[in-house]
Amino acid sequence: MHVARFMILMLVVAGCGQNSVAPTPTDTNTDEGGPAVDALQDQGLAVDSPIVDSGALQPDAPPEDTATDTVDAVEEDTPSGDTEAVETIDASFVEPDSGPEDTADAVEECAPCVPSAASAQFSMEPDAFAVTPNRTRHNPLKGFMTSYIWGSPANDFPDSMEFLYLPMADVWGPDGETFSSGLEPLLEAAASRGHHVVLRVYIDYPAKAYGLPPYLTDAVSCQPYTDHGGGCSPDYDHPLLVEAMVGLLTALGAHYDGDPRLGALQIGLLGYWGEWHTHPNTDSFASNYTQTAILNAAHTAFSITQIQVRRPAANSLDLRIGFHDDSFAFSTLGDTPWFFLPSLVSAGGGERWEEVMIGGELRPELQSICFQDDYTLGTNAQDITLCIEQTHASYLLNYKAFNEAGVGYQGIERLRAEEAAIHMGYQFELNAASLKLWGLDHDDETVEAEVTLTLAQSGVAPFYYDLHAAVHAEGSGPVGTSTENLKTLLPGSTKDLTFSLGRVPLAVVNNPMEVHLTAPILQPGQRVLLATHTPGTEEDGPTHIGWELGCNTAEETLPIGAQSGAMEPGCPCICDVDGVLRTCDGSVCP
């Protein structure tokens, strides 16, 4: 439009200036207007005064001269104080607002950003992974435990489980289960402490009150004995008692199978302390028929929660039933046939630990001495660590670790006991972590990402419950979860897990991530920590993973997706996933 006004001024000069050519009378129409007026009206211009016909112009005059004359004419011939411009147009000199000439001369814009074609893969250095077993000291479903029924711990020895030892009369009556009064309050109390319960129900506990439900005492006879402090062994084969025991196990399964408050059920019920023997009064024990009925009932009732029995009795090896050694380190290893591991191996159950949990109780006579300097190994004083490794035990009852002499283990005894507790059960380590990135989208600040982790199982036993690994953005929720079930990962094995994160915000990959192990059996606040410390990992926090990403410039290191300057014609230089600065069209910036 500036060009049009310039040409109008030229016309003004031609019609009014002293250097203009005089108009021809026959070509001028001062009343009706003419071609010049039409041209002005076509341009949307107002016409207020006589118009000079375009034929009076000298189109051959050089633009420079015309421009000079125009300026002179305006200065000399425009009446003083005149506020209205007299305008006309020579169509041959008007440049349109758009057209081929404008397109050629316009500044080109940068192409719209599209996802980058670059990709890159990053791996953490091997020396970034440090194995620190002490990180797992609070991990659930493993280690030493006590019974809060016997008294609260006198120290802060790490524990994630607790033992419930209940008489049958507390949980079963003439109308069936009485869990609401006899069991629920105890489960809730344990859960409030962040503990899983190991439950055992007994009928005959030597030196304690008889545990048979009162409605059965008149119908079911018992045989008195004086061993172990005395008691009375019921007729375990009595039909009414068998029916009640099967009914109790069925009800327990219906109410509590998979309940995250219940870590394991010791089937109990039969024999002294519910330990499936009446030694030395062997004639008082249950028949094989009754044993099988009890084992089958437990197996049928529980498909998720781990269940255990004291020894490989009846058809137990054919069922999903684990074992508990209640004389641990006293009669666990050796050549004596009835010792725990020899009896299990001879029955064909030496490898059952791969599928079902092994637990028990550190023999009470050994609890006070087994971690002392002068502990002497012998037939009934066995090496604790060796017993744990060969039985693949996950947990042990050890009251004195928490309450011995009113204070529990102290000093070197406590350190050794904590090492033994950590050594039980599962332990997961992170051996490698890599990150693959591609498809950087600068406009929405996202990128496609995939994480691969190598996990190792370095414990003595599996986890036994469904367990999955997840990758979290730092301080937030999961951005990727593996479908691999880690309960099948046996000690000594490793597994590569791939997490397809999809398209994630750049902040997810530019910051450290966290590795979590998640399981439905976990209670609120419980965590399965890896025994691996990496840079940025807190002592009791999830293991961090991260990679050195970005673009190095002379001044700084830019995170992926950051902008550094621009190229002509104004295209930003963006830090791509492979550490190269590129524009949106993929051109490499200098």
Determine contact, residues 514/542, Cβ cutoff 8 Å.
Answer: yes
Determine contact, residues 34/40, Cβ cutoff 8 Å.
Answer: no
Residues 211 and 336 in one domain: yes
The CATH code of the domain that includes 151 is 3.20.20
Residue 291 confidence (pLDDT) above 90: yes
Which of the listed residues 379, 402, 423 is the one where a domain comes to its end?
A: 423
Residue 77 lies in a domain: yes
Bridge-based pairing state of the strands 143-145 and 119-123: unpaired
Residues 348 and 464 in one domain: no
Position 235 scores a pLDDT of: 98
pLDDT averaged over the chain?
86
- What is the domain count for the chain? 3
The CATH code of the domain that includes 498 is 2.60.40
Residue 572 lies in a domain: no
What span, in angstroms and rounded, lies between the C-alpha atoms of 357 and 142?
Answer: 10
Residue 202 confidence (pLDDT) above 70: yes
Residue 316 lies in a domain: yes
Residues 26 and 165 in one domain: no
User: Where does the pLDDT of residue 566 fall: very low under 50, low under 70, confident under 90, or very high at 90 and above?
Assistant: confident
Residue 559 lies in a domain: no
Say whether 265 sits in a helix, a strand or coil. Answer: strand
Pick 134 or 67 by higher pLDDT.
Answer: 134
Residue 588 lies in a domain: no
Residues 446 and 488 in one domain: yes
Determine contact, residues 558/550, Cβ cutoff 8 Å.
Answer: yes
Which residues are registered as beta bridge partners of 224? Answer: 232
What span, in angstroms and rounded, lies between the C-alpha atoms of 420 and 454?
Answer: 26
Position 337 scores a pLDDT of: 96
Contacts of 380 (CB under 8 A, 6+ apart): 330, 331
Q: Average pLDDT, stretch 429-453?
A: 96
Residues 376 and 433 in one domain: no
Residues 437 and 341 in one domain: no
Pair of tokens at residue 388: 């744990």
- Span 362-415, pLDDT tens digits: 999 999 999 999 999 999 999 999 999 999 999 999 999 999 999 999 999 999
User: Where does the pLDDT of residue 585 fall: very low under 50, low under 70, confident under 90, or very high at 90 and above?
Assistant: confident
Residues 458 and 357 in one domain: no
User: Where does the pLDDT of residue 233 fall: very low under 50, low under 70, confident under 90, or very high at 90 and above?
Assistant: very high
Q: For 248-257, 418-427, 428-437, 558-567, which range has the lowest pLDDT when averaged over its residues?
A: 558-567
Q: Average pLDDT, stretch 60-70?
A: 42
Which of the listed residues 522, 545, 568 is the one where a domain comes to its end?
A: 545
- Return the ∠ at Cα 6 (arms to 5 and 11), rounded to 5°: 90
Which residues are registered as beta bridge partners of 552? Answer: 557
Position 82 scores a pLDDT of: 43
Cα separation values, 215 from 211, 267, 554, Å: 12, 22, 87
Position 510 scores a pLDDT of: 93
Residues 180 and 286 in one domain: yes
- Span 321-377, pLDDT tens digits: 999 999 999 999 999 999 999 999 999 999 999 999 999 999 999 999 999 999 999
User: Where does the pLDDT of residue 108 fall: very low under 50, low under 70, confident under 90, or very high at 90 and above?
Assistant: low
Determine contact, residues 463/353, Cβ cutoff 8 Å.
Answer: no
Q: Average pLDDT, stretch 57-66?
A: 42
Q: Average pLDDT, stretch 118-127?
A: 96
Residues 79 and 8 in one domain: yes
Contacts of 287 (CB under 8 A, 6+ apart): 236, 237
Residue 114 lies in a domain: no
On the CB side of 66, how many CA atoms lie within 13 Å of its CA? 20
Cis peptide before 213 (omega within 30 of 0): no
Q: For 58-62, 139-143, 161-165, 228-232, which range has the lowest pLDDT when averaged over its residues?
A: 58-62
Residue 45 confidence (pLDDT) above 60: no
Q: For 16-30, 108-122, 480-494, which range has the lowest pLDDT when averaged over its residues?
A: 16-30
Determine contact, residues 3/89, Cβ cutoff 8 Å.
Answer: no
Which of the listed residues 355, 389, 423 is the one where a domain comes to its end?
A: 423
Residue 583 lies in a domain: no
- Span 469-482, pLDDT tens digits: 999 998 788 999 99
Residue 73 confidence (pLDDT) above 90: no
CB atoms within 10 A of CB 331: 20
Residues 505 and 469 in one domain: yes
Determine contact, residues 421/458, Cβ cutoff 8 Å.
Answer: no
Residues 232 and 345 in one domain: yes
Residue 553 lies in a domain: no
Which residues are registered as beta bridge partners of 545? Answer: 513
- Length of the chain in residues, anyone? 590
What span, in angstroms and rounded, lies between the C-alpha atoms of 582 and 110?
Answer: 12
Identify the domain containing residue 313 by its residue range: 143-423
Cα separation values, 51 from 32, 59, 378, 589, Å: 10, 17, 128, 58
Residues 369 and 439 in one domain: no
What span, in angstroms and rounded, lies between the C-alpha atoms of 145 and 153?
Answer: 10
- Span 490-508, pLDDT tens digits: 999 999 999 999 999 999 9
Cis peptide before 280 (omega within 30 of 0): yes
